A = this chain, B = another copy of it.
Amino acid sequence: MSLRVTVWNEFRHEKNDPEVAAIYPDGIHAALASALRAHGIDEVRTATLDEPEHGLDVETLASTDVLIWWGHLHHEDVADEVVDRVQQRVLEGMGLVVLHSGHGSRVFRRLMGTTCNLIWREADDTEVLWNVAPGHPITEGIGQRFIIEREEMYGEHFEVPTPDELVFISWFSGGEVFRSGACYRRGAGKIFYFRPGHETYPTYHNPQVQRVIANGVRWAAPQVAWSSNFGNPAPVIAR
């Protein structure tokens, strides 16, 4: 079965900030789509905030197996209707990979039920990501740990529900830690939150980051068709 991915990006930093445009000239979404293709995931589309329905119309979501989400400063510009639609598709089985500042997106907050707040600092911290789930498919090819030389710091407390599976914990040179790779099941859908990716660093060109995202997409893909059967049934067993 082919795996159909849609990469969603806010896509405003790249248009407004030359520093970001220099790193991601075609946008973060294009860089991520290219990385996924290099990992053998071929059916990759992109969608961005300023498209009609933010590029996430009913047909697009209905034909998406895994949605990737990157947003930062304009979370509140995402329409109610699109938030509802993404939530519903996740509960039906669509995978969702939420990156970095997407922690504050309406979509992620809706699915988590919490603020998803955290502490943060832009100060060229070094980040070490430790694998705490040996054998987990999201860590395939990663080994014990990997290092990102310079990144924004995200620190605890990260106000999310306890992850169903915790995959990475990050160390930052300023003294902080963070639950950087977190897996959730919601309805029939799987959600992977992965921390790295501040727009002023070339994080999505990092081969290990790309690999984790590709692994996360494969992990989140729906494996078993499921049609929820709610309602008011007759007894299973005659009384």
Stretch with Cβ within 8 A of B (4 or more), from A3-11, A27-35, A44-52, A110-118: A110-118
Report the contact-size class of chain A (Cβ under 8 Å from the partner): 35 or more
Q: Is the CB of A159 within 8 A of B140?
A: no
Q: Which of B117, B140, B156, B165 contacts A223 (CB 8 A)?
A: B140
A185 within 8 A of B: yes
How many copies of the shown chain assemble into the complex?
Answer: 4
A-B contact pairs, 18 of them (CB 8 A): A91-B114, A110-B113, A111-B114, A119-B229, A119-B232, A121-B233, A123-B235, A128-B177, A135-B190, A135-B223, A155-B233, A159-B230, A161-B164, A161-B184, A162-B166, A162-B185, A174-B236, A175-B236
Interface residues of A (CB under 8 A from B): 87, 91, 93, 110-115, 117-121, 123, 125-126, 128, 130-137, 139-140, 143-145, 147, 155-159, 161-162, 164-166, 169-177, 179, 184-190, 222-224, 226, 228-237, 239
